[in-house]
């Protein structure tokens, strides 16, 4: 079993920045991919970013490319997502998720087996 706990959400003005953190615990092998999804009210869930614990390979949704950066601290079992130039349309609940033996790209369009509880990000003036 893998447990994931997100933190770092909040209210920020358009153009601002936030950093989300995901603390992973349990049996996490090197073949895991960990990443972020988001869901806004009335909208479908969207894969945002992913990172491979094996080689650090990253993938991003087109909507966040160039603005969001995912990173990992393998020793601490932490995954971060730095979000810059935030827009009102980035407002959503952000979830950390994990899945083993999958590509980072397939992860963004799949249904990972482990999920955190979510953290709210609101971008508003």
The residues of the chain scoring below 50 in pLDDT are none
Q: How far apart are CA 99 and CA 36, in angstroms?
A: 12
The separation between CA 57 and the C-alpha centre of its own chain, rounded to angstroms, equals 14
**Per-residue model confidence as pLDDT tens digits over 20-53:** 999 999 988 889 999 999 999 999 999 999 999 9
Q: How far apart are CA 125 and CA 122, in angstroms?
A: 10
Which of 98, 96, 111 has the alpha carbon at shortest distance from 31?
98
Cβ atoms of 72 and 10 within 8 Å: the answer is no
Q: How far apart are CA 88 and CA 90, in angstroms?
A: 5
The separation between CA 72 and the C-alpha centre of its own chain, rounded to angstroms, equals 11
User: Which pLDDT score is estimated for 81?
Assistant: 98
């Amino acid at each position: 079993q893998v447990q994931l706990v997100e933190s770092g959400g909040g209210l920020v003005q358009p153009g601002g920045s936030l950093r989300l953190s995901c603390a992973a615990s349990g049996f996490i092998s090197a073949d895991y991919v960990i990443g972020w999804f988001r869901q806004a009210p009335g909208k479908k869930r969207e894969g945002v970013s992913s990172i491979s614990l094996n080689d650090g390979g990253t993938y991003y949704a087109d909507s966040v490319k160039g603005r969001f950066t995912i990173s990992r601290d393998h020793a601490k079992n932490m995954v971060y997502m730095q979000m810059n130039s935030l827009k009102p349309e980035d407002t959503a609940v952000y979830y950390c998720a994990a899945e083993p033996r999958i590509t980072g790209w397939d992860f963004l369009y799949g249904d990972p087996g482990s999920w955190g509880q979510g953290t709210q990000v609101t971008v508003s003036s």
